[in-house]
């Protein structure tokens, strides 16, 4: 009898199948039945018969058709995942109530962009943005009417900038531009990332400096709001003059050519997907093809996701490291506020503050800390003692990169620029991706260090000569291997990151017959930054699993309240390691907790409360907005440090 492992939210479920002619839809419902069986609230699912979901392979993330039979598309022991689980009874009311983000080209943030990618918002333009778009288009129409020679409007592109194109062929000029430049390769961007790319391009066009027509821009917005998303290969941009290949693929689908995806249709020919949603393809006017593809939006949209995920994992890394320090019976002395005032980097001070708020103090006493108060250990290893210094610079790096990404998000990166008030177009180089490329190389180098130091802490947890715990955190060692290879996985990911941290933006290759003779290579900078961040998340997931397993050997002693809450969160998803079992699903489940920021959501309020009680005048608006003035140090120890 074939068996399948199905990932539903944060759980992995094994589903046996007596009849391989059953459909993928049947498999999904069987997994859902098992998922809600032991949930007191049925996992929030009201009526299982009315549930809508999508099924995809875990390997390669290929979408499966619910009507296909299992024997046709799956093999025994395949892994699949259920996504977009929604009660259809409520689906339409939810869609009607979805919020809008008004774009004006000046106020979008990386957080907004990631949320747009997740489909949490739809888009509309501000009235001011619409007026600017109309004004710039009127200037272009005048240029065409008066037969002026202007780059990209009445001439060819790149090396062909001096070739004047007849007015009768200007539409064909723009269409040929998109077709010829749609030369990317590789896997397509996910729907989430394509949504981000499209939203960001709309935001830039909303500035009214590109010469796009309001009609075309509205059709782009309609496509975004319907989640009609073009097939955009991830490879092919050199990051100047803009992300030409991926943005061409994005525009090609909107033009009704190539492939497109939507939740309703899956992958299909673009013209049919648009028709299915009652949408019309865009019809290009002079300069509009160029307006759709000049810019750094591929680099910047992927960079926005990278910096947002980096920020989230950096916050949670402090919590995980604090839990490891508890398990390894470390001291809080290294986080004394007076130490960090002597080297007052903002990130370092913030990390030390978080450690003080989570570890043993009068605010949150710890039985584990009390148990070793009079031990003869003088100081801890660097991987614990130096967390504020190592994690701190990561925080400061992320803040620096986020500022550049947010500036880039709201920048005009087209060429030529259309200045309606001046009545002229000006060619420049804002399409060059060096700013986000350099910043994202820096982000990769910075955030990697969280995994590097985490892997060393995993080693200390697994090594009995360093941890005073059973080898590899399991009883009956030899019969059981415990966390032996989980640590190897962490080491492998850290080693991969060392290669991925090599900067791509230090490279350049001349293109377009030496017209574009210096480029940023920012597309690869963004893609590998994302991969580095994902590896960091996975290494820290392994550390969190190992630290929680270490707690099992210290029971009945308890750690501090916030760290116990983190332990409870993990244990609600992954059981203690009594004997060897299939470990990969456990790591993936905890990785998902980190991606969804659930560890931060559990511990963050305790950190905020600590800050507010010790610094009454500080009232942070969010868990990330803590004041960095030091609260009093934890209660003094009797032992020598």
| Residue 443's CATH number | 1.20.200.10
Quickly count: other Cβ atoms within 10 Å of residue 149's Cβ. 12
User: Within this chain, do residues 158 and 276 fall inside the same structural domain, yes or no?
Assistant: yes
Task: Work out the end-to-end distance of the chain between its first and last CA atoms, rounded to an integer number of angstroms.
Answer: 61
Which pLDDT does position 381 carry in this prediction?
Answer: 94
Q: What is the pLDDT of residues 355-379, one digit of tens each?
A: 999 999 888 899 999 999 888 777 8
What distance in Å separates the CA atoms of residue 179 and residue 175, rounded to the nearest whole number?
A: 6
Which pLDDT does position 24 carry in this prediction?
Answer: 87
Stronger pLDDT, 6 or 633, i.e. the higher one: 6
Give CA separation, 94 vs 55, 100, 112, 182, 578, in Å: 21, 13, 19, 36, 43
Average pLDDT taken over every residue of the chain: 89
Among candidate residues 35, 90, 121, 151, the one labeled active-site is 151
Which pLDDT does position 461 carry in this prediction?
Answer: 98
Q: Predicted confidence band at 38 (pLDDT cuts at 50, 70, 90)?
A: low
pLDDT at 246 over 70: yes
Structural domain range at position 602:
303-508+518-613
What distance in Å separates the CA atoms of residue 234 and residue 440, rounded to the nearest whole number?
A: 16
User: Within this chain, do residues 122 and 37 fall inside the same structural domain, yes or no?
Assistant: no
User: Within this chain, do residues 381 and 486 fall inside the same structural domain, yes or no?
Assistant: yes
Which pLDDT does position 43 carry in this prediction?
Answer: 60
Q: What is the pLDDT of residues 287-312, one digit of tens each?
A: 999 999 999 999 999 999 999 999 99
Look at residue 625 and tell me if it is in a domain: no
pLDDT at 47 over 80: no
Look at residue 474 and tell me if it is in a domain: yes
Smallest CA-to-CA distance from 211 within 158, 154, 135 is with 135
Look at residue 377 and tell me if it is in a domain: yes
pLDDT at 388 over 90: yes
Which pLDDT does position 97 carry in this prediction?
Answer: 52
Stronger pLDDT, 147 or 496, i.e. the higher one: 496
151 is known as an active-site residue:
yes
Which pLDDT does position 72 carry in this prediction?
Answer: 82
Cross-strand bridge partners of residue 13 = 6
pLDDT at 516 over 60: yes
Stronger pLDDT, 486 or 91, i.e. the higher one: 486
User: Within this chain, do residues 433 and 570 fall inside the same structural domain, yes or no?
Assistant: yes
Q: What is the pLDDT of residues 62-92, one digit of tens each?
A: 778 888 888 888 877 677 887 766 543 333 3
Cross-strand bridge partners of residue 578 = none
| Residue 74's CATH number | 3.10.20.90
Which pLDDT does position 46 carry in this prediction?
Answer: 59
Look at residue 11 and tell me if it is in a domain: yes
Which pLDDT does position 53 carry in this prediction?
Answer: 77
Which residues in 568-590 are b (16+ Cβ under 10 Å) and which e? ebbeebbeebeeeeebebbbbbb
What distance in Å separates the CA atoms of residue 345 and residue 326, rounded to the nearest whole number?
A: 25
Three-class SS state of 63: strand
> Across residues 416-423, what is the average pLDDT?
92
Local structure of residue 2 (DSSP, 8 states): -
Look at residue 626 and tell me if it is in a domain: no
Look at residue 319 and tell me if it is in a domain: yes
User: Within this chain, do residues 117 and 180 fall inside the same structural domain, yes or no?
Assistant: yes
> Across residues 396-410, what is the average pLDDT?
98
pLDDT at 51 over 90: no
Q: Predicted confidence band at 160 (pLDDT cuts at 50, 70, 90)?
A: confident
Three-class SS state of 288: helix
User: Within this chain, do residues 501 and 562 fall inside the same structural domain, yes or no?
Assistant: yes
Look at residue 628 and tell me if it is in a domain: no
Pairing of strands 121-125, 99-103: parallel
Q: What is the pLDDT of residues 526-550, one digit of tens each?
A: 999 999 999 999 999 999 999 999 9
Cross-strand bridge partners of residue 233 = 188
Which pLDDT does position 615 carry in this prediction?
Answer: 59
User: Within this chain, do residues 35 and 175 fall inside the same structural domain, yes or no?
Assistant: no
Q: Predicted confidence band at 473 (pLDDT cuts at 50, 70, 90)?
A: very high
What distance in Å separates the CA atoms of residue 547 and residue 391, rounded to the nearest whole number?
A: 18
Q: What is the pLDDT of residues 589-609, one digit of tens each?
A: 999 999 999 999 999 999 999
Joined together, the tokens standing for residue 196 give 């981000």
**Cβ atoms 23, 70 nearer than 8 A:** yes
SS (H, E, C) 377-435: CCCCCHHHHCHHHHHHHHHHHHHHHHHHHHHHHCCCCCCCEEECCCCEEECCCCCCCHH
Quickly count: other Cβ atoms within 10 Å of residue 177's Cβ. 22
pLDDT at 112 over 90: yes
What distance in Å separates the CA atoms of residue 315 and residue 399, rounded to the nearest whole number?
A: 12
Which pLDDT does position 85 carry in this prediction?
Answer: 62
Q: What is the pLDDT of residues 273-284, one digit of tens each?
A: 999 999 999 999
Quickly count: other Cβ atoms within 10 Å of residue 297's Cβ. 28
Residue 607: exposed, middle, or buried by beta-carbon count in 10 A (0-12, 13-18, 19+)?
Answer: buried
User: Within this chain, do residues 340 and 460 fall inside the same structural domain, yes or no?
Assistant: yes
What distance in Å separates the CA atoms of residue 466 and residue 489, rounded to the nearest whole number?
A: 20
Pairing of strands 229-230, 79-87: unpaired
pLDDT at 321 over 50: yes
What's the domain count of the chain?
A: 3
Pairing of strands 259-262, 266-269: antiparallel
Look at residue 637 and tell me if it is in a domain: no
> Across residues 414-432, what is the average pLDDT?
92
Which pLDDT does position 176 carry in this prediction?
Answer: 94
User: Within this chain, do residues 309 and 287 fall inside the same structural domain, yes or no?
Assistant: no
Last residue of one domain, picked from the residues 294, 319, 348 = 294
- Percent of the chain at pLDDT exceeding 90: 71
User: Within this chain, do residues 29 and 116 fall inside the same structural domain, yes or no?
Assistant: no
Which pLDDT does position 154 carry in this prediction?
Answer: 86
User: Within this chain, do residues 133 and 279 fall inside the same structural domain, yes or no?
Assistant: yes
What distance in Å separates the CA atoms of residue 547 and residue 554, rounded to the nearest whole number?
A: 11
Q: Predicted confidence band at 177 (pLDDT cuts at 50, 70, 90)?
A: very high
Which pLDDT does position 621 carry in this prediction?
Answer: 43
User: Within this chain, do residues 450 and 472 fall inside the same structural domain, yes or no?
Assistant: yes
Which pLDDT does position 633 carry in this prediction?
Answer: 44
**Cβ atoms 251, 135 nearer than 8 A:** no
| Residue 273's CATH number | 1.10.275.10
What distance in Å separates the CA atoms of residue 258 and residue 333, rounded to the nearest whole number?
A: 61
Which pLDDT does position 25 carry in this prediction?
Answer: 86
């Amino acid at each position: 009898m074939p068996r399948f492992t199905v990932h539903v939210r944060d759980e992995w479920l094994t589903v046996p199948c007596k009849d391989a002619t059953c459909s993928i839809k049947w498999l999904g419902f069987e997994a859902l039945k098992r998922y809600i069986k032991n949930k007191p609230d049925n996992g929030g699912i009201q009526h299982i018969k009315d549930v809508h979901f999508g099924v995809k392979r875990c390997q390669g993330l290929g979408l499966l058709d619910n009507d296909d039979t299992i024997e046709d598309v799956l093999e025994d022991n395949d892994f699949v995942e259920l996504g977009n689980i929604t009660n259809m009874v409520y689906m339409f009311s939810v869609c009607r109530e979805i919020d809008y983000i008004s774009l004006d080209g000046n106020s979008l943030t990386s957080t907004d962009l990631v949320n747009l990618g997740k489909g949490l918002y739809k888009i509309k333009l501000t009235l001011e943005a619409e007026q600017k778009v109309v004004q710039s288009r009127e200037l272009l129409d005048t240029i065409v009417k008066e037969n002026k020679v202007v780059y990209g409007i009445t001439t060819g592109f790149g090396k062909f900038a001096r070739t004047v194109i007849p007015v009768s062929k200007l539409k064909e000029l723009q269409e040929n531009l998109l077709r010829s430049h749609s030369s990317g390769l590789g896997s397509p961007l996910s729907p989430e990332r394509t949504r981000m790319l499209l939203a960001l391009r709309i935001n830039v066009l909303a500035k009214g400096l590109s010469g796009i027509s309001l009609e075309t821009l509205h059709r782009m917005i309609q496509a975004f709001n319907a989640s009609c998303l073009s097939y955009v290969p991830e490879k092919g941009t050199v990051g100047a003059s803009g992300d030409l290949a991926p943005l061409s693929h994005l525009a090609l689908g909107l033009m009704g050519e190539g492939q497109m995806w939507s939740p309703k249709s899956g992958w299909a020919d673009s013209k049919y997907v648009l028709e299915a949603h009652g949408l019309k393809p865009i019809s290009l006017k002079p300069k509009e093809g160029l307006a759709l593809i000049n810019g750094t939006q591929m680099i910047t949209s992927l960079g926005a996701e990278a910096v947002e995920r980096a920020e989230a994992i950096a916050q949670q890394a402090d919590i995980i490291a604090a839990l490891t320090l508890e398990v390894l019976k470390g001291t809080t002395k290294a986080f004394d506020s007076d130490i960090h005032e002597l080297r007052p980097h903002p990130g370092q001070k913030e990390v030390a503050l978080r450690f003080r708020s989570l570890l043993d103090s009068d605010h949150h006493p710890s039985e584990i800390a009390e148990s070793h108060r009079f031990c003869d250990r003088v100081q801890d290893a660097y991987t614990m003692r130096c967390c504020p210094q190592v994690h701190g610079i990561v925080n400061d790096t992320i803040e620096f990169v986020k500022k550049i990404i947010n500036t880039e998000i709201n920048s005009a990166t087209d060429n030529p620029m259309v200045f309606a008030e001046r009545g002229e177009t000006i060619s420049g180089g804002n399409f060059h991706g060096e700013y986000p490329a350099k910043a994202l190389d820096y982000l990769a180098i910075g955030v990697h260090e969280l995994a590097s130091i985490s892997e060393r802490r995993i080693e200390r947890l697994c090594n009995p000569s360093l941890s005073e715990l059973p080898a590899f955190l399991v009883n009956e060692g030899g019969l059981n291997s415990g966390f032996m290879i989980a640590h190897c996985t962490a080491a492998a990911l850290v080693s991969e990151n060392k290669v991925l941290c090599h900067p791509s933006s230090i490279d350049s290759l001349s293109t377009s017959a030496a017209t574009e003779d210096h480029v940023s290579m920012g597309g690869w900078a963004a893609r590998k930054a994302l991969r580095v961040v994902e590896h960091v998340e996975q290494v820290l997931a392994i550390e969190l699993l190992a630290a929680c397993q270490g707690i099992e050997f210290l029971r009945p002693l308890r750690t501090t309240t916030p760290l116990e809450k983190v332990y409870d969160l993990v244990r609600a998803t992954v059981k203690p390691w009594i004997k060897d079992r299939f470990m990969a699903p456990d790591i993936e489940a905890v990785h998902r907790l980190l991606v969804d920021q659930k560890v931060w959501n559990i511990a963050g309020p305790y950190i905020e409360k600590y800050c507010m009680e010790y610094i009454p005048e500080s009232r942070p608006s969010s868990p990330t907005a803590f004041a960095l003035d030091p609260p009093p140090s934890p209660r003094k120890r009797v032992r020598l440090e």
